[in-house]
A and B are shown apart, each in its own frame.
Chain A
Amino acid sequence: MELLASAWAYFLNRQDLMFEVLKEHVTLVLWATFFTVIIGVPVGIAISRTEKLRNTILGSVSILYTIPILALFGFLIPIMGIGSTPALIALVIYGLLPVIRNSCVGIIQVHPQLKESARGMGANDLQLLFKVEIPLAFPVIFAGIRTALVMNFSLATYAVFIGAGGMGRIIMQGIRTFNTGMMLAGILMVVITTVLLERMVGVVDNRIQKRYSLSD
């Protein structure tokens, strides 16, 4: 109880700092998710067309995904130094797997009859992709983006190790300075914002799934 009180006191005292780290955190995550989508969705769609490339790419992305984040930082620091760029790259690398995989699966599972009827009506390749395949794969693609976003949000806590700030800063500083109130404030903030984010995206996701649910 005392601990909680000290965390709360810290939070009230240093609202400016809390805001600052939250902003850093959110900015990092949004950029990371943006690049993940920009790269992941087209790659996912591309590999949905060719089976050969599919296994190679999904395989390599899966391997990258299993590297612990601190080890990944270890790779990136000698190449790029520290700062937000390597942090961004690390997050993008983790986000790619769910986004690529879901985009690929989403496109593949569009019912062939639907594609055929659209083609039968005279849709060309681009129209088929943008008016039929992507809209129909959207719920699955979005689920992948949701996973990447929430995962990146929690992974971004580590960004502090590579000098990219974020909410991890408060926790680290709290540990380093034996300030348990500060540390706990950081931890609670991470937990609460992650849960909130998860909930929010969940609501959006539910809407999308409902809106697009197929009739059989």
Chain B
Amino acid sequence: MTREISVELQKVSKLYGQDKVVNEVSLSVEKGEIFVLIGPSGCGKTTTLKMINQLIPHTSGNILVNGTDVAELDVVELRRSIGYVIQYIGLLPHLTIQENIAFVLKLTKQSKKLQKEKAEELIETVGLDFSHLNRYPRELSGGQQQRVGVARALAANPDILLMDEPFGAVDPLTREQLQNELLRLQESIQKTIVFVTHDMQEAFKVGNRIGILRQGELVTLGTPMEIVKSDDEFVKNFIGQGALFEVFDTIPVTRVLEKSVPLVRIHEKVDLQAEELKDWENVFVVEPDGNCKGYIPLSDLNKDGSFAAEQIEPLPKASSPDISVKLAVQEMLWGGRTWLPIVDESTGFKGIVLFRSCAALVAENGR
């Protein structure tokens, strides 16, 4: 299936005098994805981003937004149709939070009523309280201001958002929280987001696809897993050695949960002929309520598949289904086992994660 393209750069360059700060960059951002631009300081990320809403005019090449060349569009209209969030937030200090959020609507002369309604709706969307609406930006924390920045970018209901290091100015904890909120929000709003960062971990976490820039040139473009597997020396150096684990950290363990785990009830026999036994060394013993009591190595079973209750080995320390693949792998390594039981605190036994399935993630592409 070919996906709709929201933003397309065709051999776009930017020259300052003789300096080519962006050099023939071509890329397309699919509708509904978070596309991350990353690279060392000064590589041209911000310039590339600002060319999309024409805050910086490009020198050559074509930029298409929703299929139309930006050269044919009125810049003011273009910018009003694209949300823009910057690192320094840029909330206007003389306006209340409500006025800040509704700023675009004010520019387009929407009614006061609509401005108010939209601000009330969006302040909730970004997880802030109504009471913040009448405050001034200086009365909010950095993280709260950043949320308002996101709300403001959403006010005109654009389907494209440009974000330039939006979480760069907040502490690591808040940053992580904001990243999670962005991902959660994105599930419901499904915007096309071009996201600039210089934090690789952030890129892996929020990016559906990542483009790496170096001195104005696009070096690599791909899913986080493709990026991790790149052979390019620059990319390898740039993303660092722990990159694979960083990607694993962004994949929920539920993705690698085994679909069929060989289960048996106490006092029942194991069907040794069963298809699902293939590739397994253990059978898992479940109680009638679905809880897992323990396991039995296949080799310990009697010829007819029966076993005695004393043969059941207790389940090793289980993990919660909320963890990432990275944590799961760590747990297995610590426990010296190639498998890990996953148990939900309230609903009980979820299943088993196998080391080989985690490893297989690297072979398979994408997220």
Q: In the bound complex, do residue B79 and residue A214 qualify as a contact, i.e. CB atoms below 8 Å apart?
A: no
Q: In the bound complex, do residue B94 and residue A136 qualify as a contact, i.e. CB atoms below 8 Å apart?
A: yes
Taking the closest CB of chain A, its distance from the CB of B152, in whole angstroms, is 7
* Stretch of A127-135, A152-160, A179-187, A199-207 that contacts chain B: A127-135
Known pairs A116-B86, A215-B138; A121 contacts B152 (CB<8 A)? yes
CA distance A116 to B46 in the complex (A): 13
Residues of A within 8 A of B136 (CB): 215
B64-101 contact mask (Cβ, 8 Å, vs A): 1 or 0? 00000000000011111100101011101110000000
Q: In the bound complex, do residue B93 and residue A121 qualify as a contact, i.e. CB atoms below 8 Å apart?
A: no
Residues of A within 8 A of B152 (CB): 121
Q: In the bound complex, do residue B55 and residue A122 qualify as a contact, i.e. CB atoms below 8 Å apart?
A: no
Residues of A within 8 A of B93 (CB): 114, 136, 212-215
Taking the closest CB of chain A, its distance from the CB of B151, in whole angstroms, is 12
B48, CB-defined interface residue at 8 Å:
no
Q: In the bound complex, do residue A215 and residue B92 qualify as a contact, i.e. CB atoms below 8 Å apart?
A: no
Residue of B nearest to A127 (CB): B107
Known pairs A124-B76, A214-B93; A117 contacts B84 (CB<8 A)? yes
CA distance A75 to B129 in the complex (A): 64
Best-surrounded residue of A113, A120, A136, A211 (most CB of chain B within 10 A): A120
Q: In the bound complex, do residue B90 and residue A131 qualify as a contact, i.e. CB atoms below 8 Å apart?
A: no
Partner of B106, one of A120, A131, A212: A131
Within 8 A of A (CB), among B148-169: 152-153, 156, 162
Taking the closest CB of chain B, its distance from the CB of A133, in whole angstroms, is 11
B301-325 contact mask (Cβ, 8 Å, vs A): 1 or 0? 0000000000000000000000000
A118, CB-defined interface residue at 8 Å:
yes
CA distance A147 to B108 in the complex (A): 37
Within 8 A of B (CB), among A23-67: none
B8-38 contact mask (Cβ, 8 Å, vs A): 1 or 0? 0000000000000000000000000000000
Q: In the bound complex, do residue B92 and residue A122 qualify as a contact, i.e. CB atoms below 8 Å apart?
A: no
Q: In the bound complex, do residue A136 and residue B84 qualify as a contact, i.e. CB atoms below 8 Å apart?
A: no
Count of B residues near A, CB < 8 Å? 30
Count of A residues near B, CB < 8 Å? 23
Best-surrounded residue of B104, B107, B153 (most CB of chain A within 10 A): B107
CA distance A113 to B156 in the complex (A): 21
Residues of A within 8 A of B81 (CB): 122
Taking the closest CB of chain B, its distance from the CB of A112, in whole angstroms, is 10
A94-135 contact mask (Cβ, 8 Å, vs B): 1 or 0? 000000000000000001011011111111100100011001
Taking the closest CB of chain B, its distance from the CB of A146, in whole angstroms, is 19
Residues of B within 8 A of A138 (CB): 94
Residue of B nearest to A139 (CB): B94
Q: In the bound complex, do residue A116 and residue B90 qualify as a contact, i.e. CB atoms below 8 Å apart?
A: yes
Residues of A within 8 A of B103 (CB): 118, 121
Residues of B within 8 A of A111 (CB): 88
Q: In the bound complex, do residue B77 and residue A114 qualify as a contact, i.e. CB atoms below 8 Å apart?
A: no
Partner of B76, one of A122, A131, A132: A122
Taking the closest CB of chain A, its distance from the CB of B85, in whole angstroms, is 9
Taking the closest CB of chain A, its distance from the CB of B193, in whole angstroms, is 15
Known pairs A122-B80, A127-B107; A117 contacts B137 (CB<8 A)? no
B115, CB-defined interface residue at 8 Å:
no
CA distance A211 to B93 in the complex (A): 9
Q: In the bound complex, do residue A113 and residue B88 qualify as a contact, i.e. CB atoms below 8 Å apart?
A: yes
Residues of A within 8 A of B94 (CB): 135-136, 138, 211-212
B53, CB-defined interface residue at 8 Å:
yes
CA distance A122 to B109 in the complex (A): 12
Known pairs A119-B55, A119-B79, A215-B138; A136 contacts B92 (CB<8 A)? yes
Q: In the bound complex, do residue B80 and residue A118 qualify as a contact, i.e. CB atoms below 8 Å apart?
A: no
CA distance A132 to B136 in the complex (A): 15
Residues of B within 8 A of A135 (CB): 92, 94
CA distance A10 to B137 in the complex (A): 56
Q: In the bound complex, do residue B55 and residue A120 qualify as a contact, i.e. CB atoms below 8 Å apart?
A: yes
Taking the closest CB of chain A, its distance from the CB of B22, in whole angstroms, is 18
Taking the closest CB of chain B, its distance from the CB of A141, in whole angstroms, is 13
Within 8 A of A (CB), among B255-271: none
CA distance A124 to B103 in the complex (A): 13
Taking the closest CB of chain B, its distance from the CB of A215, in whole angstroms, is 3
Taking the closest CB of chain B, its distance from the CB of A208, in whole angstroms, is 10
Q: In the bound complex, do residue A122 and residue B79 qualify as a contact, i.e. CB atoms below 8 Å apart?
A: yes
Taking the closest CB of chain B, its distance from the CB of A118, in whole angstroms, is 7
- Closest A-B pairs by Cβ, 7 of them: A215-B138, A117-B90, A122-B80, A120-B84, A122-B79, A113-B88, A214-B93
B residues near A, CB below 8 A?
50, 53, 55, 76-81, 84, 86, 88-90, 92-94, 103-104, 106-108, 136-139, 152-153, 156, 162
A residues near B, CB below 8 A?
111, 113-114, 116-124, 127, 131-132, 135-136, 138, 211-215
Sample of 7 more A-B contacts, CB < 8 Å, known A121-B152, A122-B79: A113-B86, A119-B55, A120-B79, A121-B79, A122-B108, A132-B92, A135-B92
What are 24 A-B contacts with C-beta separation under 8 Å? A111-B88, A113-B86, A113-B90, A116-B55, A117-B89, A118-B103, A120-B50, A120-B53, A120-B86, A120-B90, A121-B79, A121-B80, A122-B81, A122-B108, A122-B156, A123-B76, A124-B107, A131-B106, A132-B92, A138-B94, A213-B93, A215-B93, A215-B137, A215-B138
